[in-house]
Amino acid sequence: MATAKKAKKAAKKPAAKKAPAKKPAAKKATAKKAPAKKAPAKKPAAKKSTAKRKPNAAFMKPMTPSGTLSAVVGSTPLPRTEVTKKIWDYIKKNKLQDNINRRLINADEKLRAVFGGKKQVSMFEMTKLVSNHLK
């Protein structure tokens, strides 16, 4: 009985497939190939400096705001970066950011004059419109 079970198991297993016979290698042509180019040696990675990044001088130049903009940020000359910060402080203080789409700013009376009469402006368009009021 034990041999009958072994015979059944052997019958169930599929016969092992033979690997296809390899063809003999073709003879190489006598023409020489161009020598392979070597990859350029990699330069060692430059160490990141821990020093603070230098701000661009054009952004740091104090600019005088126009009369309409001075109602929001003050009349003293300020760099562009500080003007943008003060406008954002004003927007957050007066809750002028749109509740649904936070990228939009709802203008009040002071900002509407700066934004050229528009009721709503995107934050990216805001910097463009503000730059018109700086000299």
Q: Residue with structure tokens 């900002």?
A: 111
Phi-psi region of 117 (alpha: psi -120 to 50; beta: other; left: phi over 0): left
Rounded to two decimals, the pTM is: 0.58
Confidence (pLDDT) at 123: 92
| pLDDT for the residue 54 | 80
Specify the pLDDT at position 15. 59
**pLDDT tens, the chain, 135 aa long:** 566 655 555 556 665 666 666 666 666 555 566 666 666 666 666 666 677 888 778 778 999 999 999 999 999 999 999 999 999 999 999 999 999 999 999 999 999 999 999 999 999 999 999 999 998
